[in-house]
Amino acid sequence: MTEYEAVIGLETHIQLNTTTKIFCSCKADSWGEPPNTNICPVCSGLPGVLPVLNRHVVEKAVLLATAMHSEVREISHFDRKNYFYPDLPKGFQITQFDQPIGVGGYLDLPMPEGYTRRVGIEKMHMEEDAGKTKNERARRLIDFNRCGVPLVEMVTRPDLRTPEEAAEYLTRLRQLIRWLGISEGDMEKGHLRCDGNISIRVKGSEVLNTKTEIKNVNSIEAVRTALQTELERQIREVEAGNEIKPWTLDWDADKGELRKMRSKETEADYRYFREPDLLPVHLDEAWKAEILAGFPELPLARRERFTTDYQLPDYDAEVLTSERSLSDYFEAAVQAYGGDPKSVSNWLMNDVMRMLNESGKTADELQLTPVNLAEILKLVDANTINNATAKKLLKKVEESGTAPGKIVEAEGLAQVSDDSAIRAVCAEVIAENPGEVEAYRGGKQGLIGWFVGQVMRKMRGKAAPKLAREVLEELLGQ
């Protein structure tokens, strides 16, 4: 059988988290607000109005272009993209065409299979969003709230070869834009949207065949599924001797189906020309230096450093660099602790991340600071408290914001390591449970854990578990 491979390119629209829209002072994020309440004469396209460029949009676009290793243009221009659609009140979209803010670049994707796919970037440009159309009971409803929301559109080269690679690209891109603090990256709220272009060819060929475009995909998993569905359809069509038509396809997530929307447009259909109401964007060296003054270490570089500097396993490094705030928290805790970084990693990935998931907070919002966590680990290392008490102490510190040592002292949580005190309780547990004692001495050695648990319960979790086990084994062996 002929073996085919996919040729995939993605167009992503990233909503920037500025306070106001790109060309007016309306709020940029109106998620959940009533339709057509967050608009003004500028973003609703009334005659005679003039756009004014939001400086912060340029700054966030420069951060992204730099992170993607793109050439950041000193001079870029805005253009008009002309098309007629109900949710585009002006009849054109202000965007960038032939002289965008960023050109070229790449994003590396370390794949689970062990190889790295480098995805080239054609260009990235700033633009305004259109409104939203909703079909309801045979009526088409229009909401202009999104009109003028600032976007960066980024177009990849056709370098992706599988739907899994496309999903990984979106995962890494979402991680990056959140890391940079330029977007929330929430696909359900439209902060990150993706159109997929896909064609097939015989494996090993360099020919680019007719492609189709998939629109309206609102999750990473849906992108993977939609591309896989279209890949299989194109293979069936080619095997049947049919021609692939350059369609634009709509993804129905509820039914898991693709539907033809229209024939795919070309650039000529949009009749681009320079936007007459906006001056060129001049990004001089002083402004660029100001924007990049606090440019952070990027997630993949930090992941690599965590495996080398802290000797963390790849899995730990991947988890701890999933969010910048978590990564910063880990490093601060390691510095405050001064002990084994793997111990900090274990506590973070288990107990602290559980706390984050339950509360919906980010690591930098916790009252349990990195210094607090380090202090708790030091208390465990010194045998002042045991692990069970330490887990409870995490929650107590988070709820109160009080230093761990003060809570231990005030609530008498210090571990009991007095041999005589533990021995007395162990003897008491043995005396109260003759049946379990007989079973243990009859060969059920696993019951030792149960006995330790009884001692811990009687001593309200403050007994040193190792010492309790040693005393119990001694007494039960008599």
To the nearest 10°, report the CA torsion of 19, 24, 30, 34: 150
Question: Which two tokens mark 209?
Answer: 């065949």
How does residue 265 score in pLDDT terms, banded at 50, 70 and 90?
Answer: low
Cα distance between residue 98 and residue 366, in whole Å: 46
Find, among 155, 125, 118, the residue nearest to 62 by Cα.
125
How does residue 264 score in pLDDT terms, banded at 50, 70 and 90?
Answer: low
Q: What integer is the mean pLDDT of 334-351?
A: 96
Percent of the residues in the chain that have a pLDDT greater than 90, as a whole number: 72
Residue 160 burial class via C-beta count within 10 angstroms: exposed 0-12, middle 13-18, buried 19 and up: buried
User: pLDDT value at position 284?
Assistant: 95
Helix (H) or strand (E) holding 88: none
CB-CB contact of 81 with 272 (8 Å): yes
Instruction: Convert the pLDDT of each residue in 349-362 to its tens digit.
Output: 999 999 999 999 99
How does residue 164 score in pLDDT terms, banded at 50, 70 and 90?
Answer: very high
Q: What angle do CA 386, 389, 392 make, to 5 degrees?
A: 150
Q: Does position 1 have pLDDT exceeding 90, yes or no?
A: no
Domains of the chain, each with CATH number or no CATH: 4-290 (no CATH), 302-411 (no CATH), 419-476 (1.10.10.410)
User: pLDDT value at position 388?
Assistant: 85
Instruction: Convert the pLDDT of each residue in 50-106 to its tens digit.
Output: 999 999 999 999 999 999 999 999 999 999 999 988 999 999 999 999 999 999 999
User: pLDDT value at position 474?
Assistant: 82
SS3 378: helix
User: pLDDT value at position 443?
Assistant: 83
E-state strands within 74-149: 75-76, 79-82, 92-95, 102-103, 106-110, 116-128, 132-136, 139-143
Instruction: Convert the pLDDT of each residue in 103-143 to its tens digit.
Output: 999 999 999 898 999 999 999 999 999 999 888 888 989 99
Question: Which two tokens mark 28?
Answer: 């940029």
Find, among 295, 294, 296, 316, the residue nearest to 306 by Cα.
316
User: pLDDT value at position 418?
Assistant: 62
Tell me the Ramachandran region of residue 336: left when phi exceeds 0, alpha when psi lies from -120 to 50, beta otherwise.
Answer: alpha
DSSP bridge partners of 118: 108
Q: What integer is the mean pLDDT of 165-172?
A: 96
Taking CA atoms, 353 is separated from 247, 319, 361, in Å, by 44, 10, 10
Percent of the residues in the chain that have a pLDDT greater than 70, as a whole number: 97
More confident position, 197 or 452: 197
SS3 321: coil
Q: Considering only 22-26, 69-73, 237-241, 425-429, which range has the smallest mean pLDDT?
A: 425-429
Per-residue DSSP letter, 296: P
Q: What angle do CA 325, 330, 334 make, to 5 degrees?
A: 150
- For the entire predicted model, the pTM comes to 0.86
Q: Does position 322 have pLDDT exceeding 70, yes or no?
A: yes
Q: Does position 176 have pLDDT exceeding 80, yes or no?
A: yes
Cα distance between residue 424 and residue 439, in whole Å: 22
Cα distance between residue 166 and residue 179, in whole Å: 20
Residue 307 Cα to chain centre, angstroms: 21
**Residue the block writes with tokens 């990256």:** 185
Q: Does position 211 have pLDDT exceeding 90, yes or no?
A: yes
Q: Count Cα atoms within 13 angstroms, Cβ side, for 304.
A: 5
DSSP bridge partners of 156: 121
More confident position, 384 or 346: 346
Cα distance between residue 211 and residue 265, in whole Å: 12
Q: Does position 266 have pLDDT exceeding 80, yes or no?
A: no
Cα distance between residue 250 and residue 261, in whole Å: 6
Q: Does position 16 have pLDDT exceeding 90, yes or no?
A: yes
User: pLDDT value at position 437?
Assistant: 85
Q: What integer is the mean pLDDT of 281-309?
A: 96
User: pLDDT value at position 137?
Assistant: 81
E-state strands within 319-458: none
Instruction: Convert the pLDDT of each residue in 443-476 to its tens digit.
Output: 888 888 898 888 888 887 777 778 888 888 888 8
User: pLDDT value at position 420?
Assistant: 78
Taking CA atoms, 145 is separated from 21, 120, 142, 252, 370, in Å, by 10, 33, 9, 24, 41
